[in-house]
Amino acid sequence: MVSALGEFFKTSVSEKGAFVTISTEIENVKSYVCLQKIMHKNQFDVQWHIDSEIVHYKTVKLILQPIIENCIVHGFGGTTGGGIIHITGRKEENTIVFEIKDNGKGMEMDVCDRITLKMNSSILGVGDSIGMRNVNQRIKIYFGEPYGINIKSKINEGTTVSLCIPIKE
C-alpha cells in the first residue's frame, strides 16, 4: 500500500509540467487502483487494454484517475462486489481515445446530460462534478474544443466515459 501511494504521489506531485507520457499516466492510475482495491477489499476488478503503440505519446497528466474514482464511488457505491472497470486506450486516426467502462449502477440520460452541462459550464457550484469538469476543461484548454469527455450510461448496466485527445509527441 505504501509503495502504491508513493508511486501515485510521485506522478501527481513531482512530475513537472502539465504533460506526461501515456505510459506514466497509466502507471499512476495503476497505483491509484491498487490503493482503492485495498480500501474496498477487492470488491472490483480492473481490466486493461492499452494499445502499446500509444504509450509513448503525451497526455495532460491526471486525466484518468478522476474518472476511475467516479466508477468506484458512484458506479459501485453501495454494492457488495462484482464490479469491473474496463480501461481501453487506442489510436483512431490522429486521436487517442480512452474508454473507461464500468458495470455499475448506471444513470438516467437526463443525469448524463446534467453532468455534461456542468462539465462544459464556466460557472462552478458546490457538488458540480468537479473532477470531471476539471479534466474536461484542462483537455479543452490544452487541445481545443473538439476534444474532451463524453458520457453514456444505462441504469443497471453501467457507465462508459470516453475521453479524446489529439496525438501529441
pLDDT in tens, 78-99: 888 889 999 999 999 999 999 9
The span from the CA of 1 to the CA of 169, in Å, is 33
Beta strands across the sheet bearing 83-92: 44-50, 83-92, 95-102, 158-166, 148-154
> How far is Cα of residue 137 from the mean position of the Cα atoms in its chain?
14
Contacts of 36 (CB under 8 A, 6+ apart): 44, 68, 69, 72
Give Cα 17 distance to the centre of its chain.
19
DSSP assigned state of 69: H
The residue behind cell 491498487 is: 34
- Mean pLDDT, range 75-79, rounded to an integer: 87
pLDDT of residue 118: 87
**Answer CATH for 2-166 from 3.30.565.10, 3.65.10.10, 3.40.640.10, 3.40.50.720:** 3.30.565.10
CA distance 99 to 83: 16
What per-residue confidence (pLDDT) applies to 129? 72
Mean pLDDT of 56-67: 94
Answer whether 87's CB lies under 8 Å from 49's CB: yes
Written as nine digits, the cell of 86 is 474496463
Confidence band, pLDDT 50/70/90 cuts, at residue 14: low
CA distance 55 to 57: 6
Are the beta carbons of 51 and 91 closer than 8 angstroms?
A: yes
- The pLDDT assigned to 90 comes to 98
Per-residue pLDDT reduced to its tens digit, 94-153:
999 999 999 999 999 999 998 988 888 777 665 667 889 999 999 999 999 999 999 999
In this prediction the pTM is 0.88
Look up residue 31 and give its amino acid: S
Q: Is 161's pLDDT higher than 70?
A: yes
Cell of 156: 443497471
